[in-house]
Amino acid sequence: MRVTNMMMMKSMNYNLEKNLSNMNDMYTQMSTGKSFQAASEDPVNASKSVLYTSYLTEIEQYQANAADATSRLSVTESSIGNLQEVLEQSRELTVQAANETLSEDDRLVVLAEVEELQEQLFEISNATYAGDSVFGGYNVTEAPFEVNGDDLLTYNGSALCLTGPYPETMSDIDIISLYNIYETDQITSELSDQNMVYNVGDNSQVDVNIEGQELFGAGENSVFAVMEKLRMALEGDTSYKTINNETTPPTVIEQELDISSLIEELDDCLDDVRSTKAEVGARKSYVEMTSNRLSQDYYTYTALLSSNEDVDIAEVSMNLANAEAVYSASLASGAKIIMPSLVDFIR
């Protein structure tokens, strides 16, 4: 077969373009650190990279959820710890006040301390995390615990302790009238039904909130009611009134107020608070363990993604040097091919 100059020129151009393209690929790999730039270059590994990247995105979202859940539970746990301290101090003061040898001045000092603890209790009940109410359930924008115009403690607008206690000086008629107004808008259960659930894994969820009535209780045995009975007793009241709503119509009952019996009621409140605190601590530990697992998964998939698409810089450097040498040799060979002129062929 006769080899013409045109054939040699086309072959030279083809090889030059191929060697230049190969060298450009090496330059691109060196500058990006990636073995391929488009899915068409390596469809199999490209599909793996998409899968690994998707996993990493999910893990990052779960990690963000876990971090927020941990912070929220930490604030909740801290607030419950503060509540526990208030109740423990209140119990100590109750034991002190139950001493029959307590003087009138000492009783007034204890009363002032209890009133201060009541204010702290109210502040704790409206604790916030990043501007959101901690114990308000789905109500995160407003303070859940308030005292309304009728001097009733409310939780998210509903009466928390409508059945009492009421001071012994308040008439039965006024008590029944007040009860009738709020009868259909009162909290009668401590069960929580406004759970804020965070997804911290494919099959991992955690409840990050404790509702106010779940922690503080509702009715005449709630934390607020027991503290109010303690204040009444220290002011010298010997009885208080409650409403029996199991009768039709509801009736007012006068209860004996003995400061010594309040010690047992405070103990019951403390037991409930400690139990809730332990539950929150268990949730927090679960989230922390899940967060550690997510960190390990993130490292694993990052390593897989890197192994799938990252290049070995040392190997690419060597290949680049080789590609540059081949391209330079191609140029030198091409220069020799195109050196002859028309004069060389007309001799």
pLDDT tens, residue by residue, 121-131: 999 999 999 88
What Rg value do the Cα atoms of the chain yield, rounded?
A: 39
Q: What is the CATH number of domain 52-300?
A: 1.20.1330.10
Nearest-angstrom CA–CA distance, 61 and 56: 9
Predicted confidence band at 288 (pLDDT cuts at 50, 70, 90)? very high
Cβ contacts of 194-198, under 8 Å, gap ≥ 24: 194/137, 194/138, 196/137, 196/138, 198/65, 198/66, 198/68, 198/69
pLDDT of residue 313: 67
Least confident interval from 51-55, 234-238, 309-313: 309-313
Nearest-angstrom CA–CA distance, 199 and 195: 13
pLDDT of residue 35: 62
Nearest-angstrom CA–CA distance, 56 and 220: 51
pLDDT of residue 310: 67
Predicted confidence band at 312 (pLDDT cuts at 50, 70, 90)? low
Instruction: Kindly report whether the global pTM for this prediction surpasses the value 0.85.
Output: no
More confident residue, 308 or 118: 118
More confident residue, 184 or 320: 184
Taking only the tens place, the pLDDT of each residue in 33-74 is: 776 676 666 788 778 888 888 999 999 999 999 999 999 999
Q: What is the pLDDT averaged over residues 321-338? A: 72
Greatest mean pLDDT among 17-31, 38-52, 56-70, 244-258: 56-70
pLDDT of residue 331: 74
**CA dihedral sign, ordered 15, 20, 23, 29:** negative
pLDDT of residue 219: 87
